[in-house]
Structure 1
């Protein structure tokens, strides 16, 4: 097993991101190393950090062209299932044309049986909803456009 250099600044940045978004877990893989940061009652801590095999994978499919050009696309912070309402068949958190405020829950992503609220990053108007209810989403996938 190769030596794993810990980037403390990155870990602190990921911990801050957990607090800002209200998420419970983030995982980042770069250059064959993976870091997972989780948060519970205690402050965010590194739970798992280990080298992983450097395997070339096919490029991920391109995101929708509309989302690529949208500066204000809210992207998924994790892999999971996106839900547009708090319960099946319920009223969606937001719809196109709704005015949202920074920190307002706009959808939920379920990951590992944990419901993670996803908040609006800024005040604005929902211009486009790019996912469907109960749709699987990837890390970095555009979810909504808020302008």
Structure 2
């Protein structure tokens, strides 16, 4: 049986894609999603109970904070983000290559991979993004200095969302 967080991630991925229908079977459970006019219907056939889920259209956001499952997820609007976090032509943005959870360190007891002011090389690991129980190491892609960390540890990140600002050397 899929966990609720995994189902939510599937709903987001289907909503952001151009497909209109998606079905998934695993261990006797079957989930089927159909998009119609901004509403994604999710049916878990193991329980035989349709559950309409209202899904907002994708929003280009600077961050999506992690909140308890009982509260709706709120996206920041770009207008609400300080200018230093939105655009600086001289800085390189390290962006998330996928939807997932941002982790600053390899485990909760370890120190973060990078901090503000740290020098990084193109192949330096700067964080981990966990997606569907897979932990993906993210590299800096550029030589330089970390000038800003745009996300919090444990925060949900979207595809293409900036996570770090690096001053290239």
Which one of the candidate residues 78, 82, 100 is aligned to 1:80?
A: 100
Larger of the two Rg values belongs to structure? 2
TM-score, reference length from structure 2:
0.53
* Structure 2 residue aligned with 1:32: 18
* Structure 2 residue aligned with 1:66: 84
> 1:76, 1:141 within 8 Å by CA — same for their partners in 2?
yes
Gaps of 5+ in 1: 1-26, 35-51
User: Relative contact order, CA 8 A, sep 6+: which one is greater?
Assistant: 1
Deviations 1:65-102 (A, max 9, x none): 43320341111110111100011031110000000000
SS in 1 for 2:85: helix
Query: Once the 2 structures are TM-superposed, how far is the Cα of residue 62 of structure 1 from its aligned partner?
Result: 3.2
* Structure 2 residue aligned with 1:100: 120
Deviations 1:3-48 (A, max 9, x none): xxxxxxxxxxxxxxxxxxxxxxxx8x988259xxxxxxxxxxxxxx
> 2:148, 2:166 within 8 Å by CA — same for their partners in 1?
yes
CA RMSD, Structure 1 to Structure 2 (Å): 2.6
> 2:98, 2:158 within 8 Å by CA — same for their partners in 1?
yes
Gaps of 5+ in 2: 1-12, 21-33, 39-55, 63-80
* Structure 2 residue aligned with 1:110: 130
Matched, 1:142 2:141: no
Deviations 1:117-144 (A, max 9, x none): 0000110000001111111111111100
TM-score, reference length from structure 1:
0.60
Question: In the superposition, relative to structure 1, how do residues 73 and 55 fare at CA in structure 2: closer, same or farther (>3 Å)?
Answer: farther
Question: In the superposition, relative to structure 1, how do residues 55 and 146 fare at CA in structure 2: closer, same or farther (>3 Å)?
Answer: farther
Aligned residue-pair number:
104
